[in-house]
Structures are given as C-alpha cells and as structure tokens.
Amino acid sequence: ADPQRCHPSDNGCVAEVRKKHDRENTLLQIPYAGHSAISFAFAQLQAMRKAIGVDWSVRIRYFEKALELLGTIKAVNEENVAVPRSLVDMWESLREMTSTHNVVFETADDDVSAHELILLAASPVQKAMLESAMMEGSSKRIAVKDSASSGVRLFLDMVYSSSSRDEPDYKSALVALDLAHRWQVLGMVPVLAGILREMITVDSFMAIAEAAVLKELEPLQQACAAFGAKNVKIKAMLKKGPVPAPVRKLLGTSDATEAEEGQKKKKRRTFQAP
C-alpha cells in the first residue's frame, strides 16, 4: 500500500485508543478521513503526547517505529530529462537565498536552513511533520543530531537542483542518502546511490556496501559486490574481520571470521566466594 495515499475525506471512521484500566477517561479519538498512513501516525503521536496524566510511552514508541518503517519504501527508477542550465542556475540561486529560508535543521555540528515550501513538495514525511501541531511544525526546527551538516547540505542541494557546488565525500553522500530514504524523497535515492557508486574505494567500501544492502539498492549492491570480489585488500578484511553481517552476506561469506571465532573462545574467568 502507498503510505502517501490519503483516506477518503468523506469517510467517518475513527480510530479509538484507550487504557484498559480507565477506558472512559483515557479515550483518544483520531479520525482517518484525509490522513495518509504517515500523517495518521503523526496525528496519533500528537494526541498521545498532549494527553495529561496518561502514560502512552509504549504506544508512542510503536508509532515512532511505524514511521521509521514507512520510510523504508523502495525507491523507483525515474526517467531523466534534460533541462536548460539557466533553470538549474535559478534553483541554485533560490537555494542560496538564506535570508528567505524559514526551516532550520539542527545537525550534529551546525544549523542548515531551507524553504518550507520546497520541503513540503519534496517529502511527504516532512510535509506531515511541518504541517502538524508537533514541535517541528510550530517551531520550524528539525533536529537531525545524528547527521553532519555537510550531509544535510548535500541532501538539500539535491532536493533543490539535483546538483551541488561542493565536492562531497562518501560520508556526506551516505548522510544525504539516509535522509532521502528516511524522508521518502524517492527520486533522490537512486541519484545519491549513483554518486556513491563512483566513491567506492577500500576505505569507503564497508560503509557503502552496508548501506546498499540495508536500503536494498540493487545497482549499488552489484557495484560493491564486483569491487569486493576482485580487491585483494577487501578479501583480506573478510578473513581478519570484523565485517558487518550485511556486507558478508553480500559477498557470500556469511561464516564467522577467524578473528570473530577467537573472540568467542576467550578464556573464561571463574569466581567464587572466599
């Protein structure tokens, strides 16, 4: 099912959630009408977080996990079209008009800004977040403390014009890929995967290959598999370990390495009362 597809607005169905021990005073009612799966999850979170005197922490974690899963929809290949360079220049200029930006991303090392309208059009997840009554919607500040500013900037560059004046490294490209995947900017996922394909080296191999497997990016997986199969240093890493399990599976060596087996067989220390 498409998580972006909205429920019919004329439907009167309502989701009801309540605690068994106090069914009357803990009742929450959220109508399905007009909601997509994503916006409905945000509406549930908003209602539970606003509830006074009721512990909804378990259900809140459930919907937070649901939103993560909804962000794992596979990207689809899109047809490329040629556009005039002047059009790309115009969108780059818009990207650089920071005085008109009205959304701020709080990254691990610096703030990065963008236009709310662009984010609403590009990402259904961002749209649901920014149009909600949650903190992100009211403050227009989005916390991405697990992401470096260089990666967030690259993500936004790609959203605006599918181009960048910067020279990103693979770590920044991986951050941008993760954000595009997480926020369902599906058209950018294969583009960023293509960028990473050209960045595969011995140093970047493990991180790129793991991302390719976990996000089910088949062309990038194939490129990583071809590189790993013929590279002597990668083969040596597989023997010495440790290597992420997804990468081992990709390269057809899922068995534990000698180093990993050695860790399992560490000498046991025994203790007893005096």
Across the chain, mean pLDDT equals 84
pLDDT of residue 1: 46
More confident residue, 22 or 150: 150
pLDDT of residue 71: 53
More confident residue, 269 or 222: 222
Q: Average pLDDT, stretch 104-120?
A: 96
Q: Average pLDDT, stretch 115-130?
A: 94
pLDDT of residue 266: 59
The answer to whether residues 228 and 234 touch, using CB atoms and an 8 Å cutoff, is yes
pLDDT of residue 29: 86
Distance CA 136, CA 129 (A): 6
pLDDT classification of 75: cutoffs 50, 70, 90: very low
Q: Could you read off the pLDDT of 173-205 as tens digits, one per residue?
A: 999 999 999 999 989 999 999 999 999 999 999
The three-state secondary structure class of 191 is: helix
pLDDT of residue 36: 73
More confident residue, 77 or 27: 27
The answer to whether residues 154 and 163 touch, using CB atoms and an 8 Å cutoff, is no
pLDDT of residue 259: 45
Q: Could you read off the pLDDT of 15-62 as tens digits, one per residue?
A: 888 888 888 888 888 887 777 777 777 778 778 888 888 888 888 888
pLDDT for 249 beyond 90? no
Distance CA 158, CA 148 (A): 16
pLDDT for 116 beyond 90? yes
pLDDT classification of 257: cutoffs 50, 70, 90: very low
Q: Quote the pTM value.
A: 0.69
The answer to whether residues 225 and 218 touch, using CB atoms and an 8 Å cutoff, is no
The answer to whether residues 185 and 162 touch, using CB atoms and an 8 Å cutoff, is no
Tokens of 133: 């009554």
